[in-house]
Amino acid sequence: MTSNKNDQPKPDLNTLAVWAGEENKDFWQRSTQVPVVHSVSYGYKDLDTWYEAAIGNETGHIYSRNTNPTVDAFEEKVRQLEGAEACTSFSTGMAAISNTLFALLSPGDRVVSVKDTYGGTNEVFTKFLPRLNIDVTLCDTTDHEMIEQEVAKGCKVLYLETPTNPTLKVVDLERLIRAGHAVSATVVVDNTFATPINTNPVQFGADLVVHSATKFMGGHADALGGVICGSKDLVHQVFHYREITGATLHPMSAYMLLRGLKTLGLRVERQNDNALKIARFLKGHPFVKDVLYPGLESHLHHEIAKKQMRGFGGVLSIILNGDFESVKTFLPRLKYVHLAANLGTVETVAGPPRTTSHVEVTPEQRAALGIPESLIRYSVGIECVDDLIADLSQALDYTSGKLK
C-alpha cells in the first residue's frame, strides 16, 4: 500500500503520468526504468529489522502477496494522478471492486447504489452481498432525488459509477457525495470510464476511487489490474483484506500498467476528441436511433458532465434502428475495430452488452436495466478519426440496405 508522504505542489497530470512513482532515479544499478521485481520474499540480516518492517514501522517488503517494489511504483503513480492520500492495487478491476465492498460491509449493513453499474458489479450487488445479509438498494441512475432519499434512510456505503457502463449516464458527484456524508456513509466511485485525466472524484469528496486498470490506464489490452485510491485509513482497511484474501497484482502486470500510464494523458486526449467527433457524426445518421455520449449537448446529463469532467471520455454507445439482427450484421462489417470484451485501448473495440459488460445477465434483466439489445458499446481508439468515421459510415449504410 502506497501513501502520501509530502505536500509538494502538484504538477500537471501529463507530467505526473510520466514521473509519479519514479522520482527515485536509482532503482537498480542506475536503471532509468522501474525494474520488475519477481522475488516472492525479501531477506533481512537481523530479526529486529525484519520485525519492524513486518509491522510497518520501517520501510521494507516482506512477501510479494502483501507488497512489492514494482507494484509500489504503480500504486504511487495512480495515487498522485488521483490526488489521493493512499493507494493499493489488485489482480483485476473486479477484484478491486469486490474486495472493497467485502472489506467495508458486514452482515446487517446497507449499501445504496445505482442500477447502471457494470454487469460484474451488479452481480455482486444482486447475488453475493444479499447472501451475507447485506441490504442492497439500487436506484434509478437518472433520479438524483430518489438516490438522496434512499441514502437519507441510512447506509454504510454509497457506491457510484460515472460515466456508467454501457449506458454512459453521469451522476452528480458533488451532490450525491454530500448526501452520503450526511449519513456518515463511505462513498466509493468507479472512475474507470472517466480516468484521472478527465475526472478526480477525490476533489468532490469521494472517500475511495476504484479503477479497472486493465482499461484506459494500461491502454494496450495486455495486462490485467485494479486499483483503489482514497483516505489512508480506508485504503489500509481494504489493503488488509486483499493481502489476506490474496488478489494481488503481479509485478509484471504492474510494470506493463506503469508503462501504459506514461501515455495516459496523450491517449485520453485523443480518445476524447475522436469520441466527440464520432458521436456527432452518428447522431445525424438515419440508421442510428440514438447515441449515448455525455459530450453531446443532447445528452441528459451533459451539464453535469461539463461541471465535473475535463473531457467526456473515449467510450460511447450506439443504439441502432432494429433489433439484435442489426447488431449482428453491422459489427462484422467494421474494419478498424476489435470485436472483443474490453475497452480503453489504443485500438477501437466494440461489442454488444450481451457479450461484454452484461454477459452475466439475461436479456430480460438487461431490458429492465434500460439496455436494449440493439446497443453497441464503442470504445474509441487513437486511430485517425476520419478513418473511423468512414468505417462506421460504410457499415451503417450496408446494414441499413441489407435489412430493408
Residues noted as catalytic = 65, 118, 190, 215
Per-residue HEC secondary structure of the chain comes to CEECCCCCCCCCHHHHHHHCCCCCCCCCCCCCCCCCCCCCECCCCCHHHHHHHHCCCCCCCCECCCCCHHHHHHHHHHHHHHCCCEEEEECCHHHHHHHHHHHHCCCCCEEEEECCCCHHHHHHHHHHCHHHCCEEEEECCCCHHHHHHHHHCCCCEEEEECCCCCCCCCCCHHHHHHHHHHCCCEEEEECCCCHHHHCCHHHHCCCEEEEECCCCCCCCCCCCCEEEEECHHHHHHHHHHHHHHCCCCCHHHHHHHHHHHCCHHHHHHHHHHHHHHHHHHHHCCCCEEEEECCCCCCCCCHHHHHHHCCCCCCEEEEEECCCHHHHHHHHHHCCCCEECCCCCCCCCEEECCCCCCCCCCCHHHHHHCCCCCCEEEEECCCCCHHHHHHHHHHHHHHHHHHCC
Please, what is the Cα angle at 84 between 295 and 109, to 5 degrees?
Answer: 90
User: Within 10 A of 61 (CB to CB), how many other CB atoms are there?
Assistant: 17
Backbone φ and ψ for 211, nearest 5 degrees, come out as: -135, 140
**Residue 186 burial class via C-beta count within 10 angstroms: exposed 0-12, middle 13-18, buried 19 and up:** buried
Contact predicate 67/61, CB 8 Å = yes
